[in-house]
Amino acid sequence: MKIIVLKFGGTSVGSIHRIKKVSRIIKSYSKKYKVIVLSSAMSGTTNKLINMSKQISSNFSDYEYDTLVSAGEQISCSLLAGQLLANGIKSKSWMAWQIPILTEGKHKYSRIKYINKTKVLKFLKSGGIPIIAGFQGVDKNLNITTIGRGGSDSSAIMVAKFFKAERCVIYTDVEGVYTTDPNKLKSAKKIKNISYEEMLEMASLGSKIMQPHSIQDARLNRIKIQVKSSFVNRMGTIITKRKNIINNKIITGISSTDNDAKVTLLGVKDRPGIAASIFKPLSQNLINVDMVVQNISSDGKETDLTFTIKSYDLNKTKKIINKNKSINFKKMIFDKNVSKVSIIGVGMITTPGVTFRMFQALATKNINIQVISTSEIKISVLIKKTNVTKAVKCLHQEFNLDK
């Protein structure tokens, strides 16, 4: 039994007209495969539910949050299954608790641990097309859980894993993965094939096509992903193993962010473990720290520590640091007018001079670099937010991504 998993994002099921179009896409696959469908909530629904929770309380219960926001997928799944039934196709909507999809971890940030296949396989063998709610699961006590914003992608990846699907197709509102954001640069090109590692870096560095943890799940489980548009019938982008890709470009893509903030602690009394004492309470409050730079004074007694976080975590970060009695510093300064620009590509592993070319290209446009971070396949720089478009354009040209 050849199984394929299709996942439809919120824009793809954002109206009755679009749901009808999606039903035709599903039907086209059913001629060759046993099809399992994962659906997000209709676009805007989850945000509307979250805003309602905020009107109730600024400390809305995490348990009730998961119960509330998971309702969006129930609506879209029912409408989609209903449309298929109206077209004479056997279908049924499934919530996580009906399967069940078991999760572990905290409310709002759970991860899928196990999927019971029995009921869904029986339905597939009977000729049915199950429409499964993405983004949600249940814990060991059958409490409803959610797996983070964008979690429907992870749901689809894990369904593909447990049902041993041939591939997972992610339908969205763009035609695939691009060399950079086509909304910011018209010369951006669609990438035909990209490795898990490159896609993971692009997702974590600002690309909004898929959530990083869903890419990581696919990489760990070797699930081949195809990203396609539900609005036009074109090939899209294949995300797969590095060895399956033939690419003559050094750099595959360029990502940029628009929600970073830089925090600098001046005159920190230096001692062993000081960085850990600063970052531990941030981690405990689920604040992700990204780029880190430390400058130690000539006498070794003080250090200036700079790091980046998401701008929406800035107020919480300031409060946590100010309450932290285990550290002493002279001053804290912060800057929300910064952005991170990154070049990503497995080709830089074997190509010398990439760092020089990046820095030289930025220098020719008078773009000052504030912070630098590197890994095996990416180089990230922090710059003024006003310079992002100029930086992306010059780097796109420097590494021949326009062609």
pLDDT band per the 50, 70, 90 thresholds, residue 242: confident
Per DSSP, 106 falls in state: S
Residue partners of 48: CB distance under 8 A and separation at least 6: none
What's the pLDDT score for residue 206?
A: 67
**Per-residue pLDDT band at 28 (split at 50, 70, 90):** very high
Q: Is residue 300 a contact partner of residue 254, using CB atoms and an 8 Å limit?
A: no
pLDDT value at residue 98 = 97
State the average pLDDT over residues 367-387.
93
The pLDDT value given to residue 270: 80
**Residue 214, pLDDT score:** 86
Q: Count the Cβ atoms, other than its own, within 10 Å of residue 363.
A: 12
Which of 338, 326, 336, 308 shows the shortest CA–CA distance to 268? 326
pLDDT in tens, 165-209: 999 999 998 889 999 988 888 899 999 999 999 998 888 876 777
pTM: 0.84
CA distance 381 to 340: 6
Distance CA 67, CA 64 (A): 5
Q: What is the pLDDT of residues 111-136, one digit of tens each?
A: 999 999 999 999 999 999 999 999 99
Convert the pLDDT of each residue in 262-318 to its tens digit.
999 999 988 888 889 999 999 999 899 989 988 887 677 888 999 999 999 999 999
pLDDT at 256: 92
Domains of the chain: 3-173 (3.40.1160.10)
pLDDT > 90: what percent of the chain? 75
Distance CA(145)–CA(130), nearest Å, equals 20
CA distances for 257 relative to 143, 184, 331, 336, 384, angstroms: 35, 12, 27, 12, 11
Distance CA 81, CA 74 (A): 11
DSSP assignments along 364-402, one per residue: HTTPPP-EEEEETTEEEEEEEGGGHHHHHHHHHHHTTTT
Tell me the per-residue pLDDT of 56-114, one tens digit each, with 9 for 90 and over. 999 999 999 999 999 999 999 999 999 999 999 999 999 999 999 999 999 999 999 99
Give the model's pLDDT for residue 243.
77
Nearest by Cα to 94 from 122, 53, 66 = 122
The closest of 155, 156, 154 to 169, measured between CA atoms, is 156
User: What's the whole-number average pLDDT of the chain?
Assistant: 92
Residue 368 has pLDDT above 90, yes or no: yes
Span of 132-146, 189-203, 209-223 with lowest mean pLDDT: 209-223
